[in-house]
Amino acid sequence: MMHSPLIELYKRTFSQEPAIEPLGAAGSNRRYYRLTAPDGQTLIGVEGTNEEENRAFVEIARCFESHQLPTPRVLAVDEPHLVYIQEDLGSLSLFDAIRHGREHGGDYNEEEEQLLHATIRQLPRLQFEGVKGLDTSVLFPSQRMDEQNCMFDLNYFKYMFLKLAGVEFNEQRLQADFDRLATSLANSQPQAFLYRDFQARNVMLKDGEVPYFIDFQGGRLGPIYYDVASFLWQASGRYSDALRQRLIATYKEALRPYATIDDNTFTATLMEFVLFRMLQVLGAYGYRGLWEKKVYFVRNIPAALSTLGQLTAEGWCDNYPCLKAVIQSIRDAKEVDRLMRECERTAAIDSEMHRQPLGSHVASLLKQDTNYTKADRQPLVVDVTSFSFKRGLPEDPSGNGGGYVFDCRSTHNPGRYQEYKQLTGLDQPVIDFLEQDGELLDFLKSVYRLADFHVERFIERGFTHLMFSFGCTGGQHRSVYSAQHLAEHLHRKYGIKVRINHREQHISQVLKAAETQ
């Protein structure tokens, strides 16, 4: 049975067998499942791939539970098989609950704003109470945010954004600024539990309104400001300056029982962490956008540059003169400009971007606090299935209906030859046969054109699910090859989440959506 270690752990713990439902993949390689008992009670099962990461989550969660913090309880663990079972907090995240405000350019209504206040009000509790009695030796991948950790991210910005974008800079002077910035960040006080990934997607609203916190396995010791900057300056949040200030006031009020910080010191230190976060995300956008050429990340570059421009204009970069000059020169980055024009052609980025190149547009962004990007929408998920026509068409897991069913039986069948009968379309000899024969490749050229068109239209219109199915005689060779290659093509080109199911081979795989910041 699939997921047998998880099922066996559940049976050993609760003396019954659950129904199992796959859930969306998280940012790491862990897989999540909703486990439903015969009486309808649900829990969440987790399969991990990294023993240290799993142990970090479990130990942090147990420490949090001992302090009655709003995090999921871990109910059962099977360390040898890298699986555990935790409390089910429901399906509504803060990110989903505040969608209206996000999709209306940051115009959050009173109910949405109250959810944001309720969330950030809990952050000092997590930071200061959560660290009490915590065995810091289990923290993964690092026990502390130190200068080396900071330098990793700063160099990522240098090599994955500045170098790829063709921005000229003095390497020694920039490194000197990075050294000073890393030292300042790592030694900022006070220090407590640093959540590291404190964002709306990692907040679940239990019973629709009470914020609970998940995915803290990357936590470590470090300055408290990092989490505040991550939450309030997340690009997808589109928070106004006025809303940020109100939320900061709520955080500072909740912080009083744990630490006393002068207002000027708090603001100056927080702005330094905002600077650091923008450099971090530009490093990620550079890698995903400039290198992997994924449209979503190139689209988000101007928003991060807008924030950097505002920080520069307000004097928060004055202690780092070379970095300040680099930020001001990014507006002339020709490689970024070229990629944005390419995005205009393939993804119909808004009309303002059609009227001027990115260089001049970013120049205006650096002079004023604007954000040209369209509001975030729920991401598109694509299901790609291979199957045998003898066993019927695949079911649509979304319940939406629609999608495409392609018949691969018109192409040359390797299953007719003895040497391929025990292999599948995932095995190299079969792949070589099909590609050298060429019939299936010609067939897939048309499929790719149709699939690309459909995926692009669905992304633009905000649709959330699309299904492609490939059938052949046995669901073993041609359909498996076709499904796997279309899935990888769509994931590589659009950075979307693709779920692959080779039904007759009992093989499933999830190609996770490209990470957002």
Arithmetic mean of pLDDT over the chain:
87
Mean pLDDT score, 216-227: 97
Contacts with 37 (C-beta within 8 Å, 6 or more apart), sequence order: 14, 16, 18, 43
Verify that 310 and 421 share a domain, yes or no.
no
Question: What distances in angstroms separate CA 90 from CA 23, 32, 34, 513, one per listed residue?
Answer: 12, 13, 10, 22
Query: Residue 461 pLDDT more than 80?
Result: no
| pLDDT 10s digits, 480-495 | 999 999 999 999 999 9
Please indicate whether residue 295 or residue 469 has the higher confidence score (pLDDT).
Answer: 469
Helix (H) / strand (E) element for 22: namely strand 19-22
Please indicate whether residue 270 or residue 396 has the higher confidence score (pLDDT).
Answer: 270
Verify that 330 and 213 share a domain, yes or no.
yes
Question: What is the pLDDT at residue 208?
Answer: 79
- Structure confidence at residue 399 as a pLDDT band (50, 70, 90): low
How far is it, in rounded angstroms, from Cα 175 to Cα 444? 49
Q: Which of 57, 87, 117 is the last residue of a domain?
A: 87
Mean pLDDT score, 225-238: 92
CATH number at residue 349: 3.90.1200.10
Q: Which is nearest to 416 in space by CA: 501, 502, 478?
A: 478
CA dihedral 190, 194, 195, 196 (to 10 degrees): 120
Number of domains in the chain: 3
| pLDDT 10s digits, 57-90 | 999 999 999 999 999 999 999 988 889 999 999 9
Query: Residue 291 pLDDT more than 70?
Result: yes
Query: Could you tell me the residue range of the domain that residue 427 belongs to?
Result: 381-511
Q: Which is nearest to 444 in space by CA: 507, 361, 364, 384?
A: 384
Question: Is residue 29 within 8 Å of 11, Cβ to Cβ?
Answer: no
Please indicate whether residue 39 or residue 392 has the higher confidence score (pLDDT).
Answer: 39
CATH number at residue 49: 3.30.200.20
Mean pLDDT score, 255-280: 97
| pLDDT 10s digits, 167-212 | 889 999 999 999 999 999 999 999 999 999 999 999 999 987 899 9
Query: Residue 513 pLDDT more than 90?
Result: no
Question: What is the pLDDT at residue 328?
Answer: 87
Mean pLDDT score, 383-399: 84
Q: Is residue 215 part of a domain?
A: yes
Question: What is the pLDDT at residue 124?
Answer: 98
Verify that 83 and 150 share a domain, yes or no.
no
Verify that 79 and 100 share a domain, yes or no.
no
Verify that 57 and 141 share a domain, yes or no.
no
Verify that 435 and 464 share a domain, yes or no.
yes
Q: Is residue 516 part of a domain?
A: no
Please indicate whether residue 355 or residue 72 has the higher confidence score (pLDDT).
Answer: 72
Mean pLDDT score, 505-513: 88
Query: Residue 278 pLDDT more than 60?
Result: yes
Lowest-pLDDT range of 244-248, 317-321, 372-376? 372-376
Verify that 49 and 14 share a domain, yes or no.
yes
Question: Is residue 327 within 8 Å of 314, Cβ to Cβ?
Answer: no
Verify that 82 and 105 share a domain, yes or no.
no
Question: What is the pLDDT at residue 353?
Answer: 38
Lowest-pLDDT range of 2-6, 34-38, 42-46, 114-118? 2-6
Q: Is residue 171 part of a domain?
A: yes
Q: Which is nearest to 278 in space by CA: 144, 181, 376?
A: 181
